[in-house]
Amino acid sequence: MIRELAYIGVASPRHEEWLTYGTEVLGCGLGPRGGDGAVRLRVDDAVHRITIRPGDRDELLYTGWAFTNEAELAAYLERLRLAGVDVTPGTVDECRDRGVAELAWVTDPWGMRHEFVSGQHRRPGTFWPGRPLSGFVADDFGLGHVVLIVPDLAEANAFYGDILGFTLSDRVDEELMKVRFYHCNGRHHSLAVAQVPGKVGFNHLMLEVNSLDDVGTGLDLAKRAGAPVLRGLGRHTNDLMTSFYMLTPSSFQIEYGFGGIVVDDLTWVASTNDRPSLWGHELTEAGRTTAPGILHDAERVTA
């Protein structure tokens, strides 16, 4: 089964800004630049986990999911094929670019690309944060979590839950916000899908840091750097993460948080929350006037 969120790749006309935003605000380490000029960021000993490529418009290019080893990956891909999913093998160049040994990819019903990999390249003992920071909760928990926008939650669950095999953590069900949260390791969720009728896209990437002070200094630095804060400090009902949301140079958001719970499948029961936050996470003026991420009109690309 899928073991962790390994990486994401985004295209953006403002990719160069990530050299400073990614290090000085987020506290990521810098990885090697891509051949196309991509900025690559690290949060742990993996060679890179966030890639921002040059592009004409902001776009989520792919999300990468790691397996324990190549045999686990091969067995999983075979199950997908038997379920009728179109699985495309990755090329040597793609493996080199992503920093993995094996790669294959699929698209969800609306065309969002998911890559399944094993053998992610690591350089033990080499991670150094880009600003004073106690570090990220990553390694075996993966990069963090991604929240994708989908037009229909039931259809999304048929793909992400039933076919890809993500385990439901819980739901938020309120009038304006319907979200399903999924885990693939102890992190409460590595993936969530939020329903926006008629739309598909990428809402946010969550990065979890090791101390509340790292969140506070991140908030100060975001304001100083002019990165719009879209939701103020707050604490989520489900994963108990204390976090805030800011707009990145590339239209999606970063949730920057601390203190997420760890779930254990032996005891975890999926509940439903009627609101997303215990306190805070109030929309700012910028939050009220900014689109919720990189958004496109939804078009079904697979049956």
Residues lying near Fe ion in the complex (CB under 5 A) are found at 206, 255
Within 56-190, strands assigned E span 59-66, 88-89, 102-107, 113-118, 145-150, 167-174, 177-183
Q: Is 203 within 8 Å of 252 (Cβ atoms)?
A: yes
Rounded to a whole number of angstroms, the minimum distance from the CB of residue 258 to Fe ion is 13
Looking at beta carbons only, is 102 or 255 nearer to Fe ion?
255
User: Looking at beta carbons only, is 46 or 205 nearer to Fe ion?
Assistant: 205
Distance in Å, CB of 284 to Fe ion, minimum: 17
Coil, strand or helix at 265: coil
Residue 193 three-state SS: strand
Structure tokens at 172: 């938020």
Phi, psi angle pair for 185, to nearest 5°: -160, -160
The answer for 74, left when phi > 0, alpha when psi is -120 to 50, beta otherwise, is alpha
Nearer to Fe ion, 115 or 255 (CB): 255
- How far apart are CB 186 and Fe ion at their closest, in Å? 16
Nearest-10 Cα torsion for 157, 159, 161, 166 = -130
- Supply the minimum distance, in Å, between the C-beta of residue 291 and Fe ion: 17
Start-to-end CA distance of the chain, whole Å, equals 24
Q: Burial letters for 224-234: b for 16+ Cβ neighbours within 10 Å, e otherwise?
A: eeebbbbbebb
* Nearer residue to Fe ion within complex by CB, 74 or 261: 261
Smallest gap from Cβ 184 to Fe ion, in A, equals: 15
| Cβ 208 to Fe ion shortest distance, Å | 10
Rounded to a whole number of angstroms, the minimum distance from the CB of residue 295 to Fe ion is 17
C-alpha span between 113 and 107 (Å, rounded): 4
In terms of CB distance, is 108 or 208 closer to Fe ion? Answer: 208
Contact 109, 180 (CB under 8 A): no
Shorter beta-carbon distance to Fe ion: residue 188 or 199: 188
Q: Which is nearer to Fe ion, 108 or 255 (CB)?
A: 255
